[in-house]
Structure formats: C-alpha cells, structure tokens
Chains A and B, each alone.
Chain A
Amino acid sequence: MRDDSGSVVYPRVNIPMGTTVAESFAAADTWRSLVSPLSDAVFVSQAVHYPAVEMSPADPSPASNATVAGILIFNTATAGEYAIVEIPGIREEFIIIAGEGAGVQLDTEAPAIADLVTQLVSGAWCNPWGFQLTALAGAMVQIRP
C-alpha cells in the first residue's frame, strides 16, 4: 500500500497453507475491498507467499562460503533472452583448475552440474519475463564482496 508521500508498506494477513493460488488471489481481492474503505493509502500490488523451512537442516561444510557463487547462464526459447541461476557456496571441486578457463569456469561435464542443467531445461523453469530455459550457455565462479 502507498500513501500520499509515496511511502510503501506491506501489510500481511495469513491464509491456510493448502489454499490454491486462485483461491488466494480471490481472497486477496476480497481483502482489498474490505480494507480500501478503511485506509487513505492505496493498494498498488499484492503477492501470495508459500514459505517452507527445513526443520532439520544439514550442517554446512566447514569450507562453505556463501560469497563464492557458481553462475549458470542459460539460453531461452527466445533469441537474445537469457536467464541466470546462481549457486552460493559452489563446491571447489566443480571449478576447472587447469587449462583454458582455469579458476574461472565451472566443469559443465561434472555429473552433478549436468543433472541440475537437465532439470532446469526440462520446461518447468523460466527467466523473470517468462522465457523458458533451453540450454546452458556458460558457467563460471564469481566472488561477491
């Protein structure tokens, strides 16, 4: 919701976890109709979140570093449109250590990377604009500040 000064806030209300997306947005539309007469601010967007928490997470590796990320770049079904998937804490074993691309490029022939790529180009995944991922274009490591 946004007020006259342009300030934005995100009021929340809860619904049961099993609610479908269509039901959730229908409830959100109802919510807006009930709240709009009460507020001088206006609704500008709405979102439905389905959060989940791992109750017994595995311990991260002692060598793990979230700032070292594997960057996977994908082609999409539309020429000129790309997608990027980042893997924080990419394992060192997947970084090429000799030859061209040593220390920068990821080993895209490693089975674990190939398995991930296969899933991401399966048709279920897209970039933020809806362009479906079709093939891996490049993979490298990046260190974040």
Chain B
Amino acid sequence: MAFVSRPTASLSYTLQDASGSKSQININIPGGTLINVAFAAADALRPLIAALTDCAVIAQNITYSQADDAPAAAVAGSRVEEKGTFVWRTANARTTQITIPAIKDSLLLQSGAVDRDNLAVAAFVAGVTGADTIFAGADGSDIRSLAAAYQRFRSSTKNQLPRDR
C-alpha cells in the first residue's frame, strides 16, 4: 500500500472559440520535471499553439498524480455522500470549507455536530491550523482556526446509485 507517482505529469490548455465552446489540448511531460521548469515549458509552447489556432487560449493546468498500488478496502457500508463538513477561518478574516467523505459515525455527536473533543478530530484540526502547515483557503490565505464542523448529506449522483438497484 504505497502511493506511486505516475511516469508523467500532464499539461492541459483550455481553448475557447467564438461561439463560447471550449476544448482542450493535453500533452505530457516527464513526472520528475520541476514545476518551475514545467511552467517555463508551458509558457514556451503557448504562443506556438496560439499561432496555429483561431481559438483563444484561456487557461492551463499542470497536474502531477500518484496512485495507491494496493488500496485498502473501504469500511463496509461506507457512503461518500455522508460528509463531515469543516468550516475554517482564514488569516484574511474569510472562511474556507473542507469536506471529509464518509465521515465516521463515531466522530459525531447526537446532534450531528462533529465531536471536537475526539482525539482524531483534534489531531486533524491541529494538523490543518498548525503554524508549520501549508494548507490554505482558495485565495491562499492561511487557515487559522475551526469555525464549525458537522455532518451533512449530499444527494447521490447517478453513478453513485446502487448498481444492483
């Protein structure tokens, strides 16, 4: 059970035509490429692509991936639609939200709130808000404290419905 890097990272450009339709260009780079080298390569390629297309290049994304080569089995009866929702305060006085799929029932109070006194929950909160961690809000602001934590159910997508229904 180890996370193994894929042999390549992917670079995708999003292009948009005059009608608003979008399409993508996907190309790969060796997985060991440093991110600043990848950005430089993407910057070098973009104008060369722009010279060939009538579309406008509106975005790009570089992704590095890993996969577990022997994942454990999920707990019987677990459902990703049952979520633990954690709302955090950030350094710039805003909030950000992180959800934990298939939150363990043992971590919940009768009301549906997350038990903040639970050791695993406390360790999670400390791991996110600690001074030496790098987790941030979507705008890059440091996560400082937990504002709320509770159970929440999301509706199932078609693909999440039972296959033997």
Asked if A60 meets B3 with Cβ closer than 8 Å, knowing A2-B71, A38-B104, A41-B80, the reply is: no
Contacts of A129 in B (CB 8 A): 7-8
Q: Which of A29, A42, A47, A116 contacts B73 (CB 8 A)?
A: A42
Contacts of A115 in B (CB 8 A): 48, 51
B153 within 8 A of A: no
Cβ-Cβ contact count across A and B, 8 Å cutoff: 275
A126 to B29, CA, bound (A): 5
Asked if A39 meets B103 with Cβ closer than 8 Å, knowing A4-B79, A9-B80, the reply is: yes
Q: Are B103 and A128 in contact (CB under 8 A)?
A: no
Q: Are B68 and A43 in contact (CB under 8 A)?
A: yes
Asked if A91 meets B29 with Cβ closer than 8 Å, knowing A20-B35, A46-B3, the reply is: no
Residues of chain A in range 37-95 having any CB-CB distance to chain B below 8 Å: 37-54, 57-67, 69-70, 83, 85-91, 94
A145 within 8 A of B: no
Q: Are A44 and B52 in contact (CB under 8 A)?
A: no
A27 within 8 A of B: yes
Q: Are A60 and B34 in contact (CB under 8 A)?
A: no
Q: Are A11 and B100 in contact (CB under 8 A)?
A: yes
B4 to chain A, nearest CB (A): 10
Contacts of A127 in B (CB 8 A): 8, 28
A14 to B138, CA, bound (A): 6
Contacts of B38 in A (CB 8 A): 50
- Tell me the nearest residue of chain B to A127, going by C-beta: B28
Q: Are A15 and B134 in contact (CB under 8 A)?
A: yes
A78 to chain B, nearest CB (A): 12
Convert A15-27 into 0s and 1s, putting 1 for each residue whose CB lies closer than 8 angstroms to a CB of B.
1110111011101
- Tell me the nearest residue of chain B to A89, going by C-beta: B55
A135 within 8 A of B: no
Chain B contacts to A: CB under 8 angstroms: 3, 5, 7-10, 15-19, 21-31, 33-35, 37-39, 41, 44-45, 48-68, 71-81, 84, 96, 98-104, 107, 120-121, 123-124, 127-128, 133-138, 140, 156, 159-160, 162-163
Top 5 A-B pairs ranked by shortest CB distance? A64-B54, A40-B78, A89-B55, A88-B23, A40-B75
Could you list 25 examples of A-B contacts with CB < 8 Å?
A7-B156, A12-B98, A14-B138, A16-B134, A21-B9, A23-B134, A24-B64, A30-B133, A38-B107, A45-B65, A47-B63, A50-B35, A50-B38, A50-B39, A52-B59, A57-B57, A66-B17, A83-B27, A89-B53, A89-B55, A112-B51, A125-B41, A126-B8, A127-B8, A130-B8
